[in-house]
Structures are given as structure tokens and as C-alpha cells.
């Protein structure tokens, strides 16, 4: 009888602890947020991931009635900031802007990470998807991708292209080198913005990056666009062909960006954040702000966003294998 009584007491104690934990989570969700939220951008300021964060952060702060501080944590191709979020308390007060590069490309490329980009960090709400464009220094002679290929072959080993190591743009550079038979040297950067600045300054000659950060620089003549990776030409620069039209099909075409949180963040908090972001994306103001960048808001549930990233992770395994890109 004593053993039965002890077992019953232990079981009752377990139920009590569970009820207490549920009550604590419920109370936390009901009062959330009651202090400043940190939004980590794991890359240097000015790149597309940073742009995605700043498109929504101000309105999120207003709707949640709480301050949101954006913290750029660059390093290790985005892995430093991502690991910080993966290790953070799952309470909704440390969030991240992630997506295709950080949560689909990274796990396909790095096999010995000390965190899991797909399990330790969970999707909350997508913000936008964005296609890339290949750009070169305007002072170079080539006006088309075909002319650039000819020029690069005539100057083998003399041209350089840069991006964040192991991100989508890096693979686009590697794919072009392989498929066109070029010898354009790769230069790694901590963020897309510094690489873009160096292309404009002529320190390197080429890069790929997203429409949200490059469209205005192309239309202003600060960079020359040679090919876009989307399925269709961009209406803002209709004379620039798709990379498929230019003779190089199979390039990665869309990067998704969105809000992420540490795994274990209470469902009510995830739901509140998802609802908040989606309300922002549905607003007329968002349509105007995104429209200036030439991109469309992408509204999704956490489950839909997770499904997109899971599918992309599978696709990137093949791209990594084809390019042979190695990590340090």
C-alpha cells in the first residue's frame, strides 16, 4: 500500500507541476510583451535581410506597444547571430529575421553546426520573397551577360566577385563560373551591402544580390544589371533578361525572408507575432513601401512558412553538390 501511495503522490505532484507550467506559459502569453524585444539580424546592415527587418519593425513596435531594438550580429556567414537566437530563452523577447539563406542554405552546406537552423529556430511569419540580379561595375565594357562571359574569359583570373560566404549569391557566382567556364575569383564579405559598395567602387567587378537592395542602384545607373534570377523579367528594368533567357537555366530564383523565434516559444506568442506581421503586410502603407523596392509582401502561417523553408533546404542540397562550394 505504501508503494501505491508513493506512486500516487508522485503522479499527483507531476500533474501539479504540469498545471503550474501551463499556467505560467498562459500568464506569460497574456502579458506579452511587457518589456523590450530584441530583433537579431545576423548580417551587416544594409543587406536584404536587414532591409526585411526594417520594413516591419517600426509598425510591429507600434502594434505591440513595446520597443523593438534591431541588433545586427554579423559573423560566420550569419551563423553567429543565428546561434545566439537558437540559444536564447524561448519567451518571445529574442527574435530573428531569417529565411532561405540562414535556415535552408546553411543546413545544406554546413554538416557540423553546433545548433540546428531548422529545429532550434522556428518560423513565425514570412515577410517577403525576393529574386536576385547579377550586377557589374558600370565602367566595365560588357552590356549583356554574353558579353560579360566573353570579357571574363579574355581576362581569366583578373576579375573578382563578392558576397557573403555560403549564401545564395555565392552559389550564383559559383554556378556562373562553372556553367560558363569562367575564372572569376570569389571574395567573401560579412554582408551583402559591403560587397555592393565595392562593386560600385570598382574594387570587385561583380555580385548577385536581391531586388530589394539593387533595383534603385540599377535604375540610377550606379550598377549595371545583366540578368535576373526570377521566372519573369522585372517590369522596372524590362530590358534585363532572366538568366534562363540568357542561356543559364537552373539558378536559385527566390529568397524568402521572415520572422523567426527560438524553438519552444509559446504558441500564443507565435500566433500573436504572426497576426501582427500579417496585419502589417496587408496594410496599404506596406504595399507602398514594398512597392518602392519592387517586391510583394508574402503572408503566411507559421506552418506554411516552415513548409517553404523545408522544401528549399532539400533543393539546396543539390545546388551545394553541383557547385562544390566548400566551407572553412
Contacts of 31 by beta carbon, 8 Å cutoff, 6+ apart: none
CB-facing half-sphere around the CA of 230: CA atoms within 13 A: 20
Average pLDDT, the chain: 91
- 40-80 per-position pLDDT tens digit: 999 989 888 899 899 999 999 999 999 999 999 998 889 99
The answer to whether 239 and 247 are in contact (CB under 8 A) is no
The alpha-helical segments, DSSP class H, found in 65-206 are 79-86, 100, 106-109, 145-154, 168-180, 192-200
Q: Which residue would you say has higher pLDDT here, 139 or 7?
A: 139
Q: Which pTM does this prediction carry?
A: 0.84
pLDDT class of 292 with cuts at 50, 70, 90: confident
Given a cut of 90, whether residue 254 has pLDDT beyond it is: no
Predicted local confidence at residue 1, as pLDDT: 46
E strand spans, 199-319:
206-210, 224-228, 255-262
Given a cut of 60, whether residue 251 has pLDDT beyond it is: yes
CA distance linking residue 188 with residue 316, whole number of Å: 20
Predicted local confidence at residue 16, as pLDDT: 56
Average pLDDT rounded to a whole number, residues 101-127:
94
Enter the C-alpha cell of residue 76: 560566420
* DSSP run (H or E) holding 14: helix 2-31
Query: What's the maximum distance between 2 C-alpha atoms anywhere in the chain?
Result: 91
Asked whether the CA dihedral 38, 50, 284, 280 is positive or negative, the reply is negative
- 125-174 per-position pLDDT tens digit: 999 999 999 999 999 999 999 999 999 999 999 999 999 889 899 999 99
- 80-91 per-position pLDDT tens digit: 999 999 999 999
Burial class (CB in 10 A: 0-12, 13-18, 19+), 100: buried
* Listed range (243-247, 280-284, 288-292) with the worst mean pLDDT: 288-292
Query: Among candidates 25, 260, 14, 220, which has minimal Cα distance to 121?
Result: 260
Predicted local confidence at residue 143, as pLDDT: 98
Predicted local confidence at residue 252, as pLDDT: 87
CA distance linking residue 314 with residue 316, whole number of Å: 5
* Listed range (5-14, 196-205, 222-231, 269-278) with the worst mean pLDDT: 5-14
CA distance linking residue 208 with residue 214, whole number of Å: 9
* Listed range (6-10, 37-41, 162-166, 301-305) with the worst mean pLDDT: 6-10
β-partners of residue 68 are 37
Q: What is the DSSP letter of 135?
A: E
Given a cut of 80, whether residue 285 has pLDDT beyond it is: yes
* DSSP run (H or E) holding 114: none
Q: Cis peptide leading into 73, omega within 30 of 0?
A: no
Ordered by where they begin, the domains of the chain are 35-129+256-323 (3.40.190.150), 132-228 (3.40.190.10)
Amino acid at each position: 500500500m505504501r508503494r501505491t501511495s508513493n506512486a500516487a503522490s508522485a503522479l499527483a505532484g507531476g500533474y501539479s507541476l504540469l498545471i503550474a507550467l501551463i499556467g505560467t506559459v498562459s500568464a506569460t502569453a497574456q502579458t506579452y510583451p511587457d518589456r523590450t524585444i530584441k530583433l537579431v539580424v545576423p548580417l551587416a546592415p544594409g543587406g536584404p535581410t536587414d532591409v526585411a527587418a526594417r520594413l516591419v519593425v517600426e509598425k510591429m513596435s507600434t502594434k505591440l506597444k513595446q520597443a523593438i531594438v534591431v541588433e545586427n550580429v554579423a559573423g560566420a556567414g550569419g551563423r553567429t547571430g543565428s546561434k545566439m537566437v537558437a540559444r536564447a530563452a524561448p519567451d518571445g523577447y529574442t527574435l530573428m529575421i531569417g529565411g532561405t539563406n540562414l535556415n535552408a542554405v546553411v543546413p545544406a552546406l554546413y554538416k557540423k553546426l553546433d545548433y540546428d537552423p531548422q529545429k532550434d529556430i522556428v518560423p513565425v511569419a514570412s515577410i517577403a520573397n525576393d529574386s536576385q540580379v547579377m550586377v557589374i561595375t558600370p565602367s566595365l565594357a560588357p552590356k549583356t551577360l554574353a558579353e560579360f562571359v566573353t570579357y571574363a574569359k579574355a581576362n581569366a583570373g583578373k576579375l573578382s566577385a563578392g558576397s557573403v560566404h555560403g549564401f545564395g549569391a555565392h552559389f550564383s557566382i559559383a554556378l556562373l563560373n562553372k556553367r560558363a567556364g569562367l575564372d572569376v575569383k570569389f571574395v567573401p564579405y560579412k554582408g551583402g551591402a559591403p560587397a555592393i559598395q565595392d562593386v560600385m567602387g570598382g574594387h570587385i567587378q561583380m555580385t548577385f544580390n536581391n531586388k530589394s537592395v539593387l533595383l534603385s542602384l540599377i535604375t540610377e545607373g550606379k550598377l549595371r544589371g545583366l540578368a535576373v534570377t526570377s521566372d519573369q523579367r522585372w517590369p522596372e528594368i524590362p530590358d534585363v533578361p532572366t538568366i534562363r533567357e540568357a542561356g543559364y537555366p537552373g539558378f536559385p530564383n527566390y529568397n524568402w525572408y521572415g520572422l523567426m523565434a527560438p524553438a519552444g516559444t509559446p504558441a500564443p506568442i507565435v500566433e500573436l507575432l504572426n497576426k501582427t506581421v500579417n496585419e502589417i503586410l496587408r496594410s496599404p502603407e506596406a504595399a507602398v513601401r514594398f512597392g518602392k523596392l519592387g517586391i510583394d509582401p508574402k503572408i503566411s502561417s507559421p506552418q506554411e512558412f516552415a513548409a517553404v523553408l523545408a522544401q528549399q533546404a532539400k533543393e539546396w542540397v543539390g545546388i551545394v553538390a553541383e557547385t562544390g562550394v566548400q566551407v572553412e
